[in-house]
Amino acid sequence: MRSLFTVAVALGTLLSTAGGADARSERRVAFAPEEMWSTVIRFLKVDERAEIRDKDTDAGYVLFDRTESDGEIVQGALEIIGKDDQVRVVISLKDRPSYEEALLLTRLERKLRAELGSPAPRPPADAP
């Protein structure tokens, strides 16, 4: 029983520290996921020269590897969460500071606006 407790504590410690350096940055966008999906993939493949490891449009995620200028490969994930005009784009880069993710989000947002135009303004809320 004692060894089971020791294993559980060790596993818990490992899991709580394993992803400590990984950050997640997110930004709200006013584009519908289905209209922005192809732009997101093109952005990663062409603009960021990333290799797409896995993607699922229905689940709204892309796993990718980006090669840095020094040859280091950085694993990343991009998620599109939400629907209609309540969409969040979440990017995480393994072992990278959050400012790099924020820069990636800024470049992606610029590409979305360049290719899809400015999002339509939200309709005014109905007054009671």
- pLDDT tens for each residue of 26-51: 999 888 888 899 999 999 999 999 99
Q: Is the pLDDT of residue 118 over 50?
A: yes
Q: What is the rounded distance in angstroms from the CA atom of residue 104 to the CA atom of residue 43?
A: 10
Vertex 61: Cα angle to 55 and 67 (nearest 5): 70
Binning pLDDT at 50, 70 and 90, where does residue 84 land?
confident
Q: What is the mean pLDDT of residues 49-67?
A: 94
Q: Is the pLDDT of residue 126 over 70?
A: no
Where do we find the tokens 């590409």?
Answer: 111
Binning pLDDT at 50, 70 and 90, where does residue 62 land?
very high
Binning pLDDT at 50, 70 and 90, where does residue 6 land?
very low
84 Rama class: left (phi>0) / alpha (psi -120 to 50) / beta: left
Token output for 13: 């410690």
Which residues pair with residue 90 across a beta bridge? 26, 79
pTM for this prediction: 0.73
